[in-house]
Every structure is written in C-alpha cells, then in structure tokens.
Structure 1
Amino acid sequence: MTTHHPRRRHDSVRRACDRCQSRLCACLLVLLVLALATVPFLAGEAAYAAESRVAARQSAARHRVTAHAVTDAQGVSAASGVRWAPVRWTDGRGGSHTGFTEVPGDIVKGGAVEVWVDGSGRLVKPPTTRQEALSTGWFTGVMAAVAVLLVHLGARTALIAAIDRRRYEQWAAEWRVVEPLWSKRLPT
C-alpha cells in the first residue's frame, strides 16, 4: 500500500521569483511551439502565392522568340559556358530589334538562340518558374522560423535579465539584514 502525500504548493528552497521565472519561461516555450507551427507556414505560403502571381503576370506579358547572333560570342566564358553577344530578332508585327544577351559559348555569327521579349519587343528575363516561386516560399518559411527563434531567444534573455536584476536586489536587501548578525557587527 502506498501512501499519498499531498502536493506541496511551494518549494521551500525556491523563491517566488524563481517560480515566476519558471512559469514565464514555460509560457514562452509554449508560444515558441505555437509560433513555429504557424508563422513559417503562413509566411512561406504568402511568399509562394506572391511569386506565383508574379510568374503568372510575367508569363502573360512575355514570350519567347528566336534571335540570331549578330557576331560570334564575346567575353570570358563562365563556368556554365555562357557568353554575351548582340542578337537580332523580328517581332510578331515584322519589326526588327537588336539587343545584347547571354548566349551559349559556342554560338557563331548567324546562330539561332531563344530569347524572351515583352510586349514592346524589348529583351527581358524569362518569367519566374513555379520552382523559383516554390524556392522563394521555402526560403521565406525558413527565414520566418529563424526569426521566430531569434525573437524567442531575445525575449527569454530579456526576461531572465529582468528577473535576475530583481533577484539580485532582493539578495542585497536580505544580505544587509543578515550580514551584521552573521559577522557579529552592529548595523550602521
């Protein structure tokens, strides 16, 4: 047969500020768990949705055309083998355009290259892809999680510093009372 001891309400060794610190740190931990479960997801989803809208607008406003190199590729080849060259293309209305763009490193004068143009026939970057939108969403979600963790750590550090300041003030006040009795000196 086991005997049941009633739960003590207060630990006689722990001060009120110690109990307060434990409770507040536990609350901060619960808030951290809730924030980590929601904030990164919401931030990532919002970033993905925004990038998806941009991709849809860009896809509607840009199209690919075949251009021809005006000269051989120029410049130092990057690790990807891409160089720069002037290119010429014709838009849908028969207008001729010229621009300077990245081309494969082995392109020669007259060689065909695919380029992206906007409605006015200017060279533009390719539209944002679904994969780029997804990457932006994931990156934003991870950065939101890091931000939540940093806010938690900052709040916890500030809380503990404030409680420690109060705790040290209490200890100093108690020491002013106890120290004369302990050292056999008279209080001043």
Structure 2
Amino acid sequence: MNTWNRIARMWYVVLPRRGSVARPSDRVQGGLLALAVLLGLALLPFAAGLGSETYVRQSSQSAEQVRARTPSTATLLVDGPPLEANTRSGVVGAGEPTDATWTPADGTRHVGKVVAGQGTIKGEQLPIWVDRAGNLTEPPLSGAGVLIDAVGVALGLWLGVLVLLTFGYRLTAYAFDRYRYARWQQEWFQEQDRETHS
C-alpha cells in the first residue's frame, strides 16, 4: 500500500463520509486517532519550552563553571596502568586513578590522583581542570553540551509522549477490532442458524 492510500485510509477513519457504512465503533476509533494526533501536536510547544528552560538553566551553570574552573597540567608521579588489550576486541581498556602533581595559577603544589590512560609513564603530563582552590574537578559544561542536553530533553519528552499515545491508540484499536470480530462471529452464527431453520 503506497503512502497516499495510507493517508486517505487514515483520513476516512478519522472523518467517515456521510453515506459511509462506518459503525459507531469506527467513529469512536477515528475520534481517538484525531485526539491522539492533536495531543501530540499540542505537546510540541510544551516540550520546546522545557528544552528552552533547560538551555537557559544550564547556560548559566556553564558560565559559572567556566568562571570557577581553569585548565591545568598534571605530571604523573608513577607509571599509569600497564597496557592491556581486550583479547576479543583488541580495544585498550579505560584509565585508572594514578598519583600525580599539579601547580595551579596560585603557585601551590597539589598532589592527588588523576585518571591516567594505560601505557602512560612517570613524568608524562596530562591536561586537567582545577577549581579556584586548585583542587581537581570536572571540565566545565560546554556550550555544545548545553545545546545537546536541551534538545535531548525536549525531543525525549515529546517522543516519549508520542510513543505512549501511539501505544494507547493501538491498544484501543486492538480492543475495538476484537469487539468487531466478536460481533461479526455472532452475526455469522445467527445467519447460519437462520438458514438452517428455514
């Protein structure tokens, strides 16, 4: 069945014509389909609003983190974890916390653990982020990360509701189909019984 036929069929389910043989259950099912589509479209601005709110909130959070955190360089005091490849995939495993030292902008020397990749050696330098006190911290949230999070929240909410609406409509359509099949079966038996007695 091509796309045009599917669209036409859905249209006639939603709005049966005046002289159609649509049963009341067909009209109710069509109304439910129209309601599901309208609810999905009506939710779009709310999802976009939530995404926009997430963007504004995380933008200010990102700006605050960028002001409070600075990049620095850590020097390993010992060798990192030994180089080991996964025998199945040949992929090198993740890094492990390793003793290192770093000196932030205030000139004080800090010692702690940084995540060093496999095969790194003593004296190797790794990029890190530190807070105002010089303590190790996570990198600040980037502008791209903020945008991705906002779009993800909006799309995730909207698609999640669309899935629920689709599932609800399909479940209702299945129940209507079962009801109609039962009615057809009952009418068939009545017609057979009538022909037998005539």
TM-score of the superposed pair, with normalisation by structure 2: 0.66
- Counterparts of 1:39-50 in structure 2, within 5 Å, are 39-50=46-57
Aligned counterpart, 1:76? 83
- Counterparts of 1:101-112 in structure 2, within 5 Å, are 101-102=114-115, 109-110=122-123, 112=125
Structure with max Cα Rg: 1
Offset at 1:126? Answer: 0.9
Paired with 1:24 and 1:107, the residues of 2 have a C-alpha distance of 62
Residue 168 of structure 2 is aligned to residue 159 of structure 1: no
Paired with 2:117 and 2:170, the residues of 1 have a C-alpha distance of 54
Residue 98 of structure 2 is aligned to residue 98 of structure 1: no
Paired with 2:166 and 2:138, the residues of 1 have a C-alpha distance of 41
Paired with 2:73 and 2:105, the residues of 1 have a C-alpha distance of 11
Aligned counterpart, 1:9? 18
The answer to whether the 8 Å contact 2:81/2:120 transfers is no
Residue 152 of structure 2 is aligned to residue 139 of structure 1: yes
The answer to whether the 8 Å contact 1:39/1:144 transfers is no
Q: Which has the higher contact order (CA 8 A, sep 6+)?
A: 1
Deviations 1:8-64 (A, max 9, x none): 7342x32221222223223322333333x4354234333333432332332233222
Distance 1:119-1:178 versus aligned 2 partners, 3 A rule: same
Aligned counterpart, 1:86? 99
Offset at 1:113? Answer: 4.2
Aligned counterpart, 2:9? none
Aligned counterpart, 1:34? 42
TM-score of the superposed pair, with normalisation by structure 1: 0.68
Paired with 1:25 and 1:17, the residues of 2 have a C-alpha distance of 12
Backbone CA RMSD of aligned residues? 3.6
Residue 66 of structure 2 is aligned to residue 63 of structure 1: no
Residue-pair matches, total: 176
Aligned counterpart, 2:194? 181
Distance 1:147-1:18 versus aligned 2 partners, 3 A rule: same
- The percentage of aligned residue pairs carrying the same residue is 26
The answer to whether the 8 Å contact 1:75/1:84 transfers is no
